[in-house]
Amino acid sequence: MANELFVYNTLIRKKVKFEPLNPPFVGMYVCGPTVYSHAHLGNARPAITFDILYRYLNFLGYKVRYVSNITDVGHLEGDTDDGEDKLIKKAKLEKLEPMEIAQQFMNSYHEDMAALNVIRPNIEPRATGHIPEQIEMIEKIMQNGYAYEANGSVYFDVNTYNTDHNYGELSGRDIEDLISGTRELTSQDEKKSSLDFALWKKADQTHLMRWNSPWGLGFPGWHLECSVMSTKYLGDEFDIHGGGLDLLFPHHDCEIAQSMGGLKCKSVKYWMHNNMLTMNGQKMAKSLGNTITLKQFFTGEHDMLERTYHPMIIRFLILQAHYRSTLDFSNEALQAAEKGYNKLVEAYKTLQSLSSSDKSTVDIKNLEGDCRKVMNDDLNTPMLIANLFEGVKIINSVNDKKETISAEDLSELKSIFDNYLVSILGLKVISSDDKNDDVMDGLMNLILEIRDEARTKKDFDTSDKIRDQLNKINLEIKDGKDGSNWVWKN
Amino acid sequence: MANELFVYNTLIRKKVKFEPLNPPFVGMYVCGPTVYSHAHLGNARPAITFDILYRYLNFLGYKVRYVSNITDVGHLEGDTDDGEDKLIKKAKLEKLEPMEIAQQFMNSYHEDMAALNVIRPNIEPRATGHIPEQIEMIEKIMQNGYAYEANGSVYFDVNTYNTDHNYGELSGRDIEDLISGTRELTSQDEKKSSLDFALWKKADQTHLMRWNSPWGLGFPGWHLECSVMSTKYLGDEFDIHGGGLDLLFPHHDCEIAQSMGGLKCKSVKYWMHNNMLTMNGQKMAKSLGNTITLKQFFTGEHDMLERTYHPMIIRFLILQAHYRSTLDFSNEALQAAEKGYNKLVEAYKTLQSLSSSDKSTVDIKNLEGDCRKVMNDDLNTPMLIANLFEGVKIINSVNDKKETISAEDLSELKSIFDNYLVSILGLKVISSDDKNDDVMDGLMNLILEIRDEARTKKDFDTSDKIRDQLNKINLEIKDGKDGSNWVWKN
């Protein structure tokens, strides 16, 4: 198992060896954000989880095409078909064009993901950009007898599908239980069964986002876009489909039904799901006031946050739990994560300046294997971090001259940290770029003050040294009547 | 004229007062990039020109919706209809999915624009995301008698259109001249006239990007997307359409014909065009080896570049010429621009720390009016920069104690620089964030060296001062056996 990647496949509820359909190519699709507001903490977990998978697959030498969608239409309130389209609701409130809102929050999402060092997917298809493809998929599903039109809308016929296939197989739901759990249809309902879900919804004249279709003006149902865009860019059958556990039902079960209903195949080989985050032990929900945006974490502007948290701290805390475990966020947990993260970063810096000796008194021969082994075990990032902390101990003991390290071992240790800390976990060493100009100003004020004192004491060695050293890094001191100042040199 | 914006309308070849159709709202559309390679210098000029217009309209209080497209399909080689789609050609070469290439270079374009401090448009519609809308527009044009189908493609019928309207009115071309300037149709040609251009092109089986249409599988002609997406998001009639002068013909003349042919109205009130850039006096062309990407300017990696140029220098050089003038790029011009830009930035910094006196010996009462007057005169940015340099003189003379400035005048001067230099010209003061970590390391090495010397000399006042000042900006010194080091504090 050590040299082969195993992943947990939700479909069969066990860890299995990862064998792509067409090695070395891997096709991977992950459900992306709905862009009607700023991304919140919950958006960070799937993004980071599948970023790790993407990075690790690349590290293993696979050629991965990673597709993740942007939902800019059709996500109905509460996952029911009678809710108002979320984007359109916001547009009415703000008197804006829906696409202007989508653009604003898509840009905001990209900013946040960049801050979290999440690599952009190879393709980020937008739902509104694939209307013809969605209409074609509906037509195929109808031709195969698994969908019907009613009053300008088209619904997936769950009961008919379930006679041929197994609706709910991913979430393990039984259709009889599902039926008894939903309300009875009323005479106004146009659906045949309360389980049926919309593939296409009729739009009235006030609806801002609508397109022509064989069934009149309307817009696609939310579940449809993922079935359509994943298979358009990855082929009818592809390797990995990821997303949050909250999407298991109905979204992913509906995707399976749509793909089987339209394309007559199981599109996805490995279904992978990240677990949920809680905040101070509570589920995050707007009604509880604990849905915190990522930007609020970065700026500290939320009542529940004691202060700002650097994006790398968010990323590190998420990686400290296995992606299939629940994870609780709190100020305490964040501050503890910050301490651990800083230790890793300091050790990484120390590592760069470590000197080697003739022979090693430290033993690192199993470290790379240990790192790989835990990553191969369904991306066990908390265990990987624990292994890297074994490396930190070695770095610090060599730095403290308690141990020695050979050149060969030092090179191996550097390679382990570069691969696993930087490339695979995607953790950035926080640099001066991330700090604000205050630091630069603070340092320069200190240096100018020392120089002024030196000149007062006629210690021209020191003042000349300061001038020369600053020159080397392209800074120039300007002496004026009110004291000295500095500028970037031309 | 001083208090009213005048813009040069290419359609009527003169400067006219800007009067939006529905004040305070302004709809503005600008032709964006084709994303099949990294953005080159030529992409910077329209982006910066219309960024200035967008910023200035916002400054004047207008509520602007700024739409700029991303062409990810349908831009044919050499603007002829028989060329191969550029994106698809690259995809075949690289064995990549066209949308993966489009995504890669769209991301690259956004990076470059962010570096140039170009504000993202409110909506960036993609051509592939608006296939149904393009098909509908074609149907309207056909219904109105200005287009015909031939062998699965649809062409705009220029001669028929020209009997009712005036084809070529924007570029001022005469249709008789155009006809005599093109080759004769051969018997293989499916077009009625060599002037006719494709609205929809039939795609063969090998074509990677194709969609269903009433005329079979195909893809839209390049000119069409702009007519469709501008009017979709701004309405059938809108205020401003911008782009490079190279797009005047045929692209913009075709747009006018398409809008009139489909929507029966002149969609655009003000047509605005930026002039072209040259490099060392030569037109930029791939065959001349002088098409330099923006990333190459930023990294200096091109034979024609003596060194790297900060994105703000590119921006400043572009703004030093009026947008309707040609502008020559060269190492000399860039380095001269850099000197001028640095002077402005230094003066801006000085301004922040200037002290006021009881009365002014400087006269700034006309400065704001002068700035506004030249911007109102068709965005005369070189004159605006000249006016700001008048401000620089005042700042430096007050800083040198040759002149005095009252608190009121100082506040006014700050406001002028904040508005015109920062908000309208969009020039960033280069901060430590733009420099690399070397500066931080250089400063810290200098400080640690001074501290070591102070400790050697038992000058504990200095060494304590250094420790305390660093503490204030969150830096901690760590003393080890091999000397001192520094870390960010937790």
Cα separation of B367 and B360, whole Å?
14
Mean local confidence (pLDDT), B37-41: 94
Q: What percent of chain A has pLDDT over 70?
A: 91
Cα separation of A129 and A325, whole Å?
35
> Mind telling me how many Å the CA of A280 is from chain B's nearest CA?
22
Cα separation of B88 and B98, whole Å?
6
Alpha-carbon radius of gyration of chain B? 28
Cα separation of B67 and B243, whole Å?
12
Residues of chain B with C-beta less than 8 angstroms from the C-beta of A470 = 442, 446
Cα-based distances in Å from B385 to A488, B338, B421: 21, 14, 8
Among B25, B70, B99, pick the best mutation site for testing chain A contact (most A Cβ within 10 A): B99
The predicted pLDDT at position B86 comes to 65
Residues of chain B with C-beta less than 8 angstroms from the C-beta of A73 = none
* Interchain contact, A450 vs B466, CB within 8 Å: yes
**Chain A residue with minimum CA distance to B467:** A446
Is the pLDDT reported for residue A154 higher than 80? Answer: yes
On whether the CB atoms of residues A169 and A256 are closer than 8 A, the answer is yes
State the Cα torsion A74-A80-A82-A83 to the nearest 10°: -60
Residue among B129, B435, B488 whose CB faces A129 most closely: B129
Could you report the per-residue pLDDT of B169-217, keeping only the tens digit for each? 999 998 888 888 777 777 678 999 999 999 999 988 777 889 999 999 9
**Chain B residue with minimum CA distance to A313:** B490
Residue among B103, B126, B446 whose CB faces A447 most closely: B446
> Mind telling me how many Å the CA of B188 is from chain A's nearest CA?
32
Give buried/exposed letters for A173-191 (b at 16+ CB in 10 A, else e).
Answer: bebeebeeeeeeeeeeebb
Angle at B83 between CA B79 and CA B84, to 5 degrees: 120
Could you report the per-residue pLDDT of A303-338, keeping only the tens digit for each? 899 888 999 999 999 999 999 999 999 999 999 999
* Interchain contact, B99 vs A233, CB within 8 Å: yes
Q: Is B61 left (phi over 0), alpha (psi -120 to 50) or beta?
A: left
The predicted pLDDT at position A433 comes to 44
* Interchain contact, B97 vs A473, CB within 8 Å: no
Taken in order B377, B379, B382, B383, the sign of the CA dihedral is positive
Mean local confidence (pLDDT), B292-297: 94
User: Strand B63-68 vs strand B25-30: parallel, antiparallel, or unpaired?
Assistant: parallel
Residues of chain B with C-beta less than 8 angstroms from the C-beta of A218 = none
Mean local confidence (pLDDT), A398-415: 96
Among B63, B118, B123, B219, pick the best mutation site for testing chain A contact (most A Cβ within 10 A): B123
Weakest mean pLDDT among A117-131, A255-269, B182-196, B429-443: B429-443
Instruction: Tell me the CB-side half-sphere exposure of residue B349, using CA atoms within 13 A.
Output: 14
Cα separation of B485 and B103, whole Å?
43
Q: Greater confidence, A438 or A301?
A: A301
Residue among A125, A430, A433 whose CB faces B488 most closely: A430
Residue among A462, A475, A487 whose CB faces B346 most closely: A487
Is the pLDDT reported for residue A32 higher than 80? Answer: yes
* Interchain contact, B447 vs A444, CB within 8 Å: no
The predicted pLDDT at position B77 comes to 42
3-class secondary-structure state, position B243: strand
Cα separation of A215 and B193, whole Å?
38
Residue among A122, A437, A445 whose CB faces B103 most closely: A122
Is the pLDDT reported for residue A283 higher than 50? Answer: yes
Among B440, B464, B465, pick the best mutation site for testing chain A contact (most A Cβ within 10 A): B440
Weakest mean pLDDT among A421-425, B87-91, B129-133, B350-354: B87-91
Mean local confidence (pLDDT), B440-461: 85
The predicted pLDDT at position A79 comes to 40
Written as six digits, the tokens of A126 are 């937008």
The predicted pLDDT at position B89 comes to 58
The predicted pLDDT at position B392 comes to 98
Q: Greater confidence, B332 or A80?
A: B332
For chain A, the farthest-separated pair of C-alpha atoms sits apart, in whole angstroms, at 97
CB pairs under 8 A between A and B: 150
Q: What ipTM score was computed for the predicted complex, to two decimals? A: 0.83
Question: Band of the pLDDT at A344, cuts 50, 70, 90?
Answer: very high
Weakest mean pLDDT among B347-356, B399-408, B413-422: B347-356
Strand locations in A146-237 (E):
147-150, 153-156, 197-202, 218-220
Is the pLDDT reported for residue A295 higher than 60? Answer: yes
**Chain B residue with minimum CA distance to A462:** B450
On whether the CB atoms of residues B84 and B76 are closer than 8 A, the answer is yes
Residues of chain B with C-beta less than 8 angstroms from the C-beta of A101 = none
Q: Is A289 left (phi over 0), alpha (psi -120 to 50) or beta?
A: left
Cα-based distances in Å from A306 to A334, A379, B426: 10, 31, 35
Residues of chain B with C-beta less than 8 angstroms from the C-beta of A123 = 97, 99-100, 103
Residues of chain A with C-beta less than 8 angstroms from the C-beta of B485 = 350
User: Strand B153-156 vs strand B197-202: parallel, antiparallel, or unpaired?
Assistant: antiparallel
Alpha-carbon radius of gyration of chain A? 28
Is the pLDDT reported for residue B485 higher than 90? Answer: no
Among A432, A465, A468, A482, pick the best mutation site for testing chain B contact (most B Cβ within 10 A): A432
Could you report the per-residue pLDDT of B242-263, keeping only the tens digit for each? 999 999 999 999 999 999 999 9
* Interchain contact, B445 vs A233, CB within 8 Å: no
Residues of chain A with C-beta less than 8 angstroms from the C-beta of B347 = none
Is the pLDDT reported for residue B377 higher than 80? Answer: yes
Which strands, in side-by-side order, build the sheet including B197-202? B147-150, B153-156, B197-202, B218-220
Cα separation of A439 and A29, whole Å?
42
Residue among A103, A436, A450 whose CB faces B124 most closely: A103
Could you report the per-residue pLDDT of B330-373, keeping only the tens digit for each? 999 999 999 999 999 999 989 988 999 999 999 999 999 999 99
Residue among B99, B399, B447 whose CB faces A447 most closely: B447
Mean local confidence (pLDDT), A261-286: 94
**Chain B residue with minimum CA distance to A481:** B400
Q: Greater confidence, A324 or B483?
A: A324
The predicted pLDDT at position A185 comes to 74
Q: A107 Cβ partners below 8 Å, 6+ apart?
A: B120
Residues of chain A with C-beta less than 8 angstroms from the C-beta of B440 = 431-432, 439-440, 443
Q: Greater confidence, A248 or B483?
A: A248
Cα separation of B107 and B105, whole Å?
5
Question: Band of the pLDDT at B457, cuts 50, 70, 90?
Answer: confident
Residue among B438, B487, B490 whose CB faces A339 most closely: B490
Average confidence score pLDDT of chain B: 90
Q: B44 Cβ partners below 8 Å, 6+ apart?
A: B112, B116, B294, B314, B315, B318
The predicted pLDDT at position B235 comes to 92
Residues of chain A with C-beta less than 8 angstroms from the C-beta of B432 = 432, 437, 439-440
* Interchain contact, B100 vs A122, CB within 8 Å: yes
Among B432, B448, B455, pick the best mutation site for testing chain A contact (most A Cβ within 10 A): B432
> Mind telling me how many Å the CA of B187 is from chain A's nearest CA?
35
